[in-house]
Amino acid sequence: MSASAPRPAMRSRKRPPQWRQINFPARGIRQLTPLPRRPMRQRARDVWDRVRVIVRSPVLWGLAAVWLAAWHRWWPAAAVAALLSAIFFIFRPHIRELEMRLEYDFATDSAEFLSTMSGLTGVPLVGGNRISIYNNGEEFYPAMLDAIAAAQYSVTMEQYIFTSGAVGRRFAEAFAGRARNGVAVKLLVDAVGGAAIGSELVRIMTDAGCQLRWFHPIRWYNLHRVNNRNHRKSILIDGRTAFTGGAGFQDHWLGAARDHSEWRDTQIRIDGPAVVPLQTGFATNWLEVTGEALTGPRYFPVLEPAGDIEVQTVLSSPKGDLFTASILYSLGILCARTSILIANPYFVPGPRTLELMEDAVARGVRIQAMIAGESSDTWLARANSTRLYGRIVEAGVELYEYMPTMLHQKTMIVDDLWAAIGTANFDHRSFRLNEESIVSLYDPVIVEQMRETFEADLQRCRRVDLNRWRKRGLAKRTGERIAALLQDQV
């Protein structure tokens, strides 16, 4: 080829768009690589998690329905399989547990504990609050009714349990009385937990001008959210005072836990700025249900300090995967150094939570868990809990069953420094499926009061004996295996 001959044109390669030109240096890629997962201990693995996934697979039952209909013309069996597929899709399990590790070692008595708790939950510790704790219905029901009677501008309520009876009527008439006096009364009741409210109580409240709405009623067009319930139990007065805790409106909360007819429970009253998150939780759910946004000083007044206690009020919700109840409990266990006291009716910890507890015991933490005993109101929760007794005790946890009546409070005390009280049970449903609220505080006086109450309740408990548990009968073991298939619904 001569020097003057034209050089053949080279095929130009089209450059990718700018947004596709991503050039990470190798060092950057290494930095973006996540930390290696800590393998779950073999002993902590639960075979029933795998069985549950297989037995309750909507895809498996859907394929079975197609196979039965297309190849065998077994229409009744195909219809049953299709129905099971739809049910298991709606109630599909969320078995993934929270993975939590500390990048740095810090304890509950450090500033890092409080800052991390605030950072993970998105809620700061707020000062200027006054706290009162009430044990059992003979203490908290009169205090709640007196506060409602003093309302001047608004009463807002989120409630899971609202039934007909003496307690339900008392509160219905209290709400109605304030509405007739021009107070804005907005009541949000869970459609499942409040199903036994009765038409008479509804009429008493609505005729007086109360606005009563149902959270997630069961309708054909909203079956996708029927498994997400509002388990919060809060009453807010003028946006300044709040009550929350384990108790609903039902007659078995009356009294002082003297016998099986009087449940053991605890409520907390907050006066001060820490009320705002509870009102925010109500306002968010009220907006979802009604489309009405609550505004102005009637619901969100400017709050002056009412005391000197620092409080963190957190909301847990399946919306946006805000599983703050699980985060709060897990971080407390992870940072404990001397003691953990848990009082909770439904104690069904997952495998990774059991690992956290086992690690805590190994570093010298004494864990005492007080749970509902033979008076438990829910067979499913009781069976799933007793099935795990062996693994819980082997992890080093001292497990106690409350004997006189149904234990229903939800409290946790860590290192005699930090405490939490609220609506969340220690189970998958509260951690993943329910709307919950928890109040945590860092105050030595209140924490000491809660510890004394815990120790008094402990005197009415029976410690779980591992040998006795192993000798339980075949019928109980079989029931526990069946209940394990629905563990994620507890």
Chain segment 295-339, per-residue pLDDT in tens: 999 999 999 999 999 999 999 998 876 789 999 999 999 999 999
pLDDT at res. 80: 84
- Cα 403 to Cα 289: distance, rounded to the nearest angstrom: 40
pLDDT at res. 388: 94
Q: How confident is the model at residue 43 (pLDDT cuts 50, 70, 90)?
A: very low
- Cα 129 to Cα 306: distance, rounded to the nearest angstrom: 5
Residue 144 has pLDDT above 80, yes or no: yes
Q: How confident is the model at residue 1 (pLDDT cuts 50, 70, 90)?
A: very low
pLDDT at res. 108: 92
**pTM: predicted TM-score of the whole model, two decimal places:** 0.86
Residue 122 CA: distances (Å) to CA of 119, 125, 328, 332, 486 = 5, 10, 11, 16, 31
Parallel, antiparallel, or unpaired: how do β-strands 184-190 and 211-215 relate?
A: parallel
Decide if 285 contacts 188 (C-beta within 8 A): yes
Q: How confident is the model at residue 15 (pLDDT cuts 50, 70, 90)?
A: low
Mean local confidence (pLDDT), 125-148:
97
131 has which bridge partners?
Answer: 270
- Cα 337 to Cα 344: distance, rounded to the nearest angstrom: 21
pLDDT at res. 48: 66
pLDDT at res. 243: 98
pLDDT at res. 45: 54
The 10s digit of each residue's pLDDT in 341-383 is 999 999 999 888 999 999 999 999 999 999 999 999 999 999 9
Helix or strand or coil: residue 120?
A: helix
Tokens of 128: 């200027």
| Torsions phi, psi for 60 (to 5 deg) | -60, -45
Q: How confident is the model at residue 6 (pLDDT cuts 50, 70, 90)?
A: very low
Please report, as a single letter, which amino acid is at residue 16: P
Residue 95 CA: distances (Å) to CA of 46, 67, 157, 207, 418 = 11, 28, 31, 45, 29
Query: Residue length, the chain?
Result: 490
Residue 74 CA: distances (Å) to CA of 67, 69, 77, 194 = 9, 6, 6, 40
Average pLDDT, the chain: 88
Q: How confident is the model at residue 33 (pLDDT cuts 50, 70, 90)?
A: very low
pLDDT at res. 70: 83
R_g over Cα of the chain:
27
Q: How confident is the model at residue 2 (pLDDT cuts 50, 70, 90)?
A: very low
Q: How confident is the model at residue 10 (pLDDT cuts 50, 70, 90)?
A: very low
Tokens of 412: 């946790």
Tokens of 384: 């799933």
Higher pLDDT, 21 or 241: 241
Q: How confident is the model at residue 46 (pLDDT cuts 50, 70, 90)?
A: low
Sign for the pseudo-dihedral over CA of 124, 125, 127, 129: positive
- Cα 253 to Cα 231: distance, rounded to the nearest angstrom: 16
Q: Which of 252, 255, 239 is nearest to 161 (CA)?
A: 252
Tokens of 456: 């008094």
Q: Which of 100, 59, 160 is nearest to 430 (CA)?
A: 160
